[in-house]
Amino acid sequence: MNRLYRNSVLRFLFIGGLSFALDLGLLVALHELFNVDLLIATPIAFVVSLVFNFFLQRIFTFQAANHHGISAVKYLSLVVFNIAVSDVIVAGFDALGWSYVIGKGTATVLTTIWNYFLYKEWIFKGKRESAGEA
C-alpha cells in the first residue's frame, strides 16, 4: 500500500481502474436493474466516471494545487481529443479487416500512456508538496 501511495503511475492506474469499474458498474445497474435505455444509461455512466476520475486524479494521484476550473477545461478538452482518437483507431482497425476489439485495446493503451504525462505536466501541473514521488 505504501508503494501505491508513493508512486504516481500506480495511483494513476489504480484510479483509472476504479473509474472504469464505476463506468461499467453504473451502466449495468442503470440498464439492467432500472431499465434505463442504453442511449441514456451509457452517457450518464460515462460522465459520472469522468467526474469521479477527474477529482481523484487531481486530489489523490497528482495532488494538484493549480486552479481546478482551468484543470477541468483542460481535462474535458483531452477527453474530447481521446474520444476522437479512439474512434479513428477503432474504425481504422475495422476498415483494415482487423478486430475492432484489438483496436479499442490499442486506443486504450495509447490514451492511457499520454494521459498520464498530460495529466502530470499540463492538466494538474502545480503539485502540492508531498512525500516521495515516482
The pLDDT tens digits of the residues spanning 45-86 come to 999 999 999 999 999 999 999 999 999 999 999 999 999 999
Task: Identify the pLDDT of residue 1.
Answer: 67
Q: What's the confidence (pLDDT) of residue 130?
A: 52
Pairwise CA distance, residues 107 & 33, whole Å: 30
DSSP letter string, 64-106:
B-S-HHHHHHHHHHHHHHHHHHHHHHHHHHHHTTS-HHHHHHH
Tell whether the model's pLDDT for residue 6 goes beyond 90.
no
Q: What is the CA radius of gyration of the chain?
A: 16
Quote the pLDDT of residue 15: 97
What is the pLDDT of the chain when averaged over all its residues? 91
Look at residue 123 and tell me whether its pLDDT is greater than 90: yes
Q: What percent of the chain has pLDDT over 90?
A: 84
pTM of the model: 0.85
pLDDT confidence of residue 131 = 46
Give the pLDDT score at 5: 75
Stretch 92-114: mean pLDDT? 95
Whose grid coordinates read 477503432? 90
Residue type, 113: I
**DSSP summary character for residue 111:** H
Please check whether residue 127 is in contact with residue 65, taking contact to mean a CB–CB distance below 8 angstroms: yes
